[in-house]
Amino acid sequence: MKVYRSKGDKPKIKLNKKAIISIAVSVALVVTALAVTLSLTLGRGQTQPPDDGGGQPVITTPVYVLPVDSYEIGKDFDKTKLVRHVTAGMIQTHEAVDFLVPLGTEVSAVFDGMVISVDVGTSMEGGVVRIQHAGGVVSVYKGLADDIYVEAGDTVKAGDVIGTVGIMPIEARDYEQSHLHLEMRLNGVTVNPLNYLPELGDK
Ligand SMILES: [Zn+2]
């Protein structure tokens, strides 16, 4: 079953309940296997380790497209500042970037890679897709609508549409409008996605 599409393809392939359940059941097994395989095949030699001064690790993977075509930035990436989630009343750091975009905005994979997990409609974060890229990089897209176009194990190209913006319940009341919450990790350490974004129009 084709589960993702490139920009411009019109038909959406909806996941029915059976498919969603089957994904949920298989994700845990798939993730474990993929994590081992990918760390062996992709994890070497393409990134620089964090420097001793506590600076940000550097992602050197070359091709990076914007996850959404246009946006304003809501909360930025900050490892030190504690922010309070209006909805949940939780206080934590926001190690991600929020892209303020309308509901239904198409969300693209930022690098080539392989989908390692898909969670639909989680109570705190809405739809969540995690993609493993070369060089130990993982991108995580949160707040997606239920209609997700990829499943674990799919190979994606930078720019492939993986889903659309929905609601991220834990942050839903932080803004007047919907947003995409994007996290990036390098060898398990969160890094600021904005450090690697091309300028608008480069896509
Ligand atoms: Zn966020």
Question: Separation of 149 CA from ligand 1 center, angstroms?
Answer: 22
Q: ∠68-71-76 over CA atoms, to 5°?
A: 100
Neighbours of ion ligand 1 (CB under 5 A): 96, 98, 171, 181
CB 158 within 8 A of CB 66: no
Written as one letter, the residue type at 63 is V
Which listed CATH number (4.10.520.10, 3.40.1400.10, 3.20.20.80, 2.70.70.10) goes with 17-44+63-196?
2.70.70.10
Residue-level pLDDT at 177: 92
How far apart are the CA of 84 and the centre of ligand 1, in A?
Answer: 11
Distance from the alpha carbon of residue 135 to the mean position of ligand 1, in angstroms: 24
The segments of the chain whose pLDDT lies below 50 read 1-13, 21, 23, 25, 27-53, 200-203
Ligand 1 centroid–CA 75 distance in Å is: 6
**Predicted pLDDT at 165:** 98
Give the Cα separation of 110 and 112 in Å (integer). 7
The confidence score (pLDDT) of residue 33 equals 46
The sign of the CA dihedral 7, 8, 9, 15 is positive
Nearby residues of 110 by Cβ (< 8 Å), 6 or more positions away:
64, 65, 66, 67, 131, 139, 158, 182, 184, 193, 196
Using alpha carbons, list the distances in angstroms from residue 192 to 84, 134, 189, 203. 19, 17, 10, 19
Alpha helices in the chain (DSSP H): 17-41
Q: Supply the pTM of this predicted model.
A: 0.68
The domain spans of the chain are 17-44+63-196
Name beta bridge partners: 59. 47
Residue 40 CA to ligand 1 center (angstroms) comes to 31
Q: Please state the φ and ψ torsions of residue 32, each to the nearest 5 degrees.
A: -60, -50
User: What one-letter code names the amino acid at 110?
Assistant: V
